[in-house]
A and B are shown apart, each in its own frame.
Chain A
Amino acid sequence: MLVETKNLVKRYGDVLAVDNVNLQIAEGEIFGLLGPNGAGKTTIINMLIGLTKVDGGEIAIFGKKVNGNREDVSSHIGIVPQELAIYNDLTAAENLAFFGKLYGIKGKLLQERVTEALEFTGLSDKRKILPKKFSGGMKRRLNIACAIVHQPKLIIMDEPTVGIDPQSRNHILSSVQELHSQGSTIIYTSHYMEEVEELCTRVAIMDEGRIIAQGNKDELKELVSFEDRIVVEVSTVNFTLVDEIKRIGGVTDCFLAENILTIHMAKNSHIIGRVVDAITGAGTEVVTLSAEKPTLESVFLTLTGKKLRD
């Protein structure tokens, strides 16, 4: 395991910000940490890099305990903080050189790495410009560049896409995938479940300081998808139809509201064809039909009874 935490605990006064968190992140993963604002994601990240004191439990990164080896461990981690963490009075290249030097890179290698990081984030032509004059998206990209200038084995991204335009967001998401393909392990926190779903190989879902589920996407969806659901809009309302559908083997429930039929059925029962037959057989027509697959959103909803973006 590249990153492993055991019973991690953080208290702020009476509040348990992180409650016995156990994480296992393997090399080469894009690990998603999904949860609403205030779930404890940033606190965990700060503990991983040794910025926040650990109140209980252990963290090992690259097989070493962070406590006591912070310098060694942190030199192979790159962090993209949630808020912009760049110097507005230093040019893009100077920002990169500064952080590069703090990671111990010097001389010609430093120059190369700065150029690479600028190229990677598409800021090559802005190297001598002060970030003051950047757009929001460009600042975000520089924020990422500063984290990769020392080519870390582990990159931690804390909500890197908050509040930016779709174009920059796409740029960031594709660069995450590219970093991954170059062999970096990535921890990615977000409260946008679409991003996590699109990017991540494994996901931990957090709420109120606890990990409420952990696994790959399918495993997580298994948690909620003991049944599938289809929604059908019908042309005319026919109440006997409801009873008829309920009689189909595998259907667990069916109800009608106005002219929308919602049908719950056992997972992988492959009975949509029979349902449609039943509808047309009853003299009505299917206007629209949609099958709903479970999403991480619905996983969260099922596990916590809340929506992610409350």
Chain B
Amino acid sequence: MSRILTIAKYIILQHLRNLGITLGQMLIFPIVVILILGMALSPAFEERELDPTRVGYLNEDTGVMGGLVDDFLSRGEIAELLEVKAVPSREKGLELLKDGEISALIHIEADYSEQVLAGNKAEIKLTGHPGRQLGVAIVETIMESFTYGGNATYALAAMGSQLEYAPAFGSIEEHTVSASGLKPNAMGYYAVTMLVMMAMYGAIYAAYDMGQNYMEPVGLRVMSTPVRPWEQYAGTVLANLVTVYLQALIIIAFTYFAFDVYWGPNLPLILLIVFVHVTLAVGLGTMAVMLTRDIARASGLLNILVVALTFLAGGYFEVNLPGSFQWGQYLSPNFLAQTALFNTIYGGPRNETLVMLAAMAGIILVTFTVSMLAQRRVVQ
């Protein structure tokens, strides 16, 4: 045991000697990035009230139906959602659209009532601004509900009924959940993803130290001492865990105190998840160097891999893979750790957190087993 501690102590001492790199890559970099991303993207993360969507309205129909559209748009609950601006002509409307003054143009053509009364398809023409997808979708949604009334009236008549259509107001029981405590703001989001990314960079430490053990003369010298191989291995893993985990703790503490990031009600579980993730990173680094048998190549590979895995996991910005590919994100260990952390902080399902932890434990097992097997080939 004392030999393991000796090996760990002196490796940590070496980590400290490279303070510039330690501080730069592992602490300053993630903190700066958390700060910038947290600030820059805070609007994108903020849950905000939507202002009414500005919409151009051109009604050329003087008939009954045109009047119904007027009535519909001037109803109280619609007026809250749409800011209707009447335009004198289609050209004028398109101009406003082009300038971005409005998000969409509603156009009722002169023969609208005529078509309806003749039993033909009666179209309300909507022209949307291509860059304002949300606004267009909102106008579409609302105008659809107008067509429901018309069609219902039709259907009622077809059934020979004298009843009148009316929207079913109050037929939805609304429940709201507060976003605070449910999902992170920008700073909270990036504190977690960058913490996870930083821990993954810990793999490079492991690759370097393990590589030194098995591929550099000084590691072979250690092997020539009475130290048992597993003690050397354990000491190195221990040193890496300590260094990377301490850095992770610093980031958690720093973001908590300086950036006011919320880390949830269950700090012990957070610390456990981070520890498991750090172990995973160390395992990954070890595996990389054992397989490549070259420290430089392993760290080059890991550098790229960490960026790619962070991207995939939505570490830099939220990535939404299309439905059938959503499992793809689970390929990134970062995503497993992030899911577990967000669940723990924001009260997500506990059993999912456990599944994530189990999956991470599985990966750890694989990395260390592969490393052991590869190590046997390194030392002949």
Asked if chains A and B are in direct contact (CB within 8 A), the reply is yes
Does A276 sit at the interface, judged by CB under 8 A? no
- Contact-residue bracket for chain B: 20 to 34
- Of B3, B216, B221, B223, the most chain A CB neighbours within 10 A belong to B221
Does B18 sit at the interface, judged by CB under 8 A? yes
Q: Are A89 and B226 in contact (CB under 8 A)?
A: no
Taking CB atoms and an 8 Å cut-off, the chain B residues in 3-33 that contact chain A are 3, 6-7, 10, 13-14, 17-18
Tell me, rounded to whole Å, the shortest Cβ–Cβ distance linking A43 to chain B.
10
Chain A residues whose C-beta falls within 8 Å of the C-beta of B217 in the assembled complex: 81-85
Does B326 sit at the interface, judged by CB under 8 A? no
Chain B residues whose C-beta falls within 8 Å of the C-beta of A98 in the assembled complex: 6, 10
| Chain A 74-91 interface mask (CB, 8 Å, partner B; 1/0) | 110101011111110110
Q: Which residue of B lies closest to A50 (CB)?
A: B224
| Chain A 32-70 interface mask (CB, 8 Å, partner B; 1/0) | 000000000000000001111100000000000000001
Tell me, rounded to whole Å, the shortest Cβ–Cβ distance linking B273 to chain A.
31
Does A94 sit at the interface, judged by CB under 8 A? yes
A77 CA / B225 CA spacing, docked (Å): 8
Q: Are B10 and A90 in contact (CB under 8 A)?
A: yes
Taking CB atoms and an 8 Å cut-off, the chain A residues in 7-53 that contact chain B are 12, 49-53
In the complex, identify which listed stretch (A100-108, A180-188, A234-242, A248-256) lies at the interface while the others stay far away. Answer: A100-108
Across the interface, B226 reaches (CB within 8 A) one of A12, A74, A87, A90, namely: A74
Taking CB atoms and an 8 Å cut-off, the chain B residues in 335-380 that contact chain A are 379-380
Tell me, rounded to whole Å, the shortest Cβ–Cβ distance linking B226 to chain A.
4
Q: Are B6 and A101 in contact (CB under 8 A)?
A: yes
Does B218 sit at the interface, judged by CB under 8 A? yes
A192 CA / B216 CA spacing, docked (Å): 25
Across the interface, A77 reaches (CB within 8 A) one of B3, B7, B224, B228, namely: B224
A71 CA / B225 CA spacing, docked (Å): 7
Taking CB atoms and an 8 Å cut-off, the chain B residues in 219-237 that contact chain A are 220-228
Taking CB atoms and an 8 Å cut-off, the chain A residues in 102-136 that contact chain B are 102-104, 130
Across the interface, A103 reaches (CB within 8 A) one of B10, B220, B225, B379, namely: B225
Chain A residues whose C-beta falls within 8 Å of the C-beta of B18 in the assembled complex: 89
Q: Are B226 and A51 in contact (CB under 8 A)?
A: no
Q: Are A102 and B220 in contact (CB under 8 A)?
A: no
Tell me, rounded to whole Å, the shortest Cβ–Cβ distance linking B376 to chain A.
10
Tell me, rounded to whole Å, the shortest Cβ–Cβ distance linking A227 to chain B.
44
Known: A53-B380, A71-B228, A102-B3. A87 touches B10 (CB 8 A): yes
Across the interface, A74 reaches (CB within 8 A) one of B10, B225, B380, namely: B225
- Of A74, A77, A84, A85, the most chain B CB neighbours within 10 A belong to A85
Across the interface, A102 reaches (CB within 8 A) one of B13, B17, B222, namely: B222
Known: A81-B217, A85-B220. A102 touches B379 (CB 8 A): no
Tell me, rounded to whole Å, the shortest Cβ–Cβ distance linking A167 to chain B.
23
Across the interface, A146 reaches (CB within 8 A) one of B14, B216, B221, B223, namely: B221
Chain B residues whose C-beta falls within 8 Å of the C-beta of A51 in the assembled complex: 220, 223-224, 379
Chain B residues whose C-beta falls within 8 Å of the C-beta of A130 in the assembled complex: 17
- Of B17, B222, B225, the most chain A CB neighbours within 10 A belong to B225
Q: Are B224 and A74 in contact (CB under 8 A)?
A: yes
Interface residues of B, dominant DSSP: helix
Chain A residues whose C-beta falls within 8 Å of the C-beta of B221 in the assembled complex: 79, 81, 85, 99, 146
Chain A residues whose C-beta falls within 8 Å of the C-beta of B3 in the assembled complex: 101-102
Q: Which residue of A lies closest to B16 (CB)?
A: A89
Q: Which residue of B lies closest to A106 (CB)?
A: B2
Q: Are B6 and A102 in contact (CB under 8 A)?
A: yes
Chain A residues whose C-beta falls within 8 Å of the C-beta of B225 in the assembled complex: 74-75, 99, 102-103
Chain B residues whose C-beta falls within 8 Å of the C-beta of A102 in the assembled complex: 3, 6-7, 222, 225-227
Chain A residues whose C-beta falls within 8 Å of the C-beta of B228 in the assembled complex: 71
A146 CA / B221 CA spacing, docked (Å): 9
Taking CB atoms and an 8 Å cut-off, the chain B residues in 41-64 that contact chain A are none
Q: Are B226 and A104 in contact (CB under 8 A)?
A: yes
A180 CA / B299 CA spacing, docked (Å): 44
A198 CA / B164 CA spacing, docked (Å): 118
Chain B residues whose C-beta falls within 8 Å of the C-beta of A77 in the assembled complex: 224
Tell me, rounded to whole Å, the shortest Cβ–Cβ distance linking A62 to chain B.
13
Chain B residues whose C-beta falls within 8 Å of the C-beta of A99 in the assembled complex: 221-222, 225
Tell me, rounded to whole Å, the shortest Cβ–Cβ distance linking A59 to chain B.
14
Chain A residues whose C-beta falls within 8 Å of the C-beta of B17 in the assembled complex: 89-90, 130
A103 CA / B224 CA spacing, docked (Å): 10
Known: A52-B380, A53-B380, A81-B217. A89 touches B14 (CB 8 A): yes
A86 CA / B220 CA spacing, docked (Å): 11
A90 CA / B18 CA spacing, docked (Å): 10
Tell me, rounded to whole Å, the shortest Cβ–Cβ distance linking B218 to chain A.
4
A87 CA / B208 CA spacing, docked (Å): 13
Tell me, rounded to whole Å, the shortest Cβ–Cβ distance linking A158 to chain B.
10
A12 CA / B329 CA spacing, docked (Å): 44
Q: Which residue of A lies closest to B5 (CB)?
A: A101
Q: Are A87 and B14 in contact (CB under 8 A)?
A: yes
Q: Are A87 and B218 in contact (CB under 8 A)?
A: yes
Tell me, rounded to whole Å, the shortest Cβ–Cβ distance linking B322 to chain A.
48
Tell me, rounded to whole Å, the shortest Cβ–Cβ distance linking A101 to chain B.
4
Taking CB atoms and an 8 Å cut-off, the chain A residues in 126-182 that contact chain B are 130, 146
A52 CA / B228 CA spacing, docked (Å): 14
A29 CA / B221 CA spacing, docked (Å): 23
Tell me, rounded to whole Å, the shortest Cβ–Cβ distance linking A296 to chain B.
27
Across the interface, B10 reaches (CB within 8 A) one of A50, A70, A71, A94, namely: A94
Q: Give me 13 other A-B pairs in contact (C-beta within 8 A), A51-B223, A89-B18 excluded.
A: A12-B380, A51-B379, A74-B225, A79-B224, A81-B217, A81-B220, A85-B217, A85-B218, A87-B10, A98-B6, A102-B3, A102-B6, A102-B227
Q: Spell out B's residues near A (CB within 8 Å).
A: 2-3, 6-7, 10, 13-14, 17-18, 216-218, 220-228, 379-380
Going nearest first, the 10 A-B pairs with the smallest beta carbon separation are A85-B221, A85-B217, A89-B14, A89-B17, A83-B217, A85-B218, A102-B225, A71-B226, A75-B226, A101-B6
Can you list 20 pairs linking A and B with CB atoms under 8 Å apart?
Answer: A71-B226, A74-B226, A75-B225, A77-B224, A79-B224, A83-B217, A84-B218, A85-B216, A86-B218, A89-B18, A90-B13, A90-B14, A90-B17, A94-B10, A94-B13, A99-B222, A101-B2, A101-B6, A102-B6, A103-B226
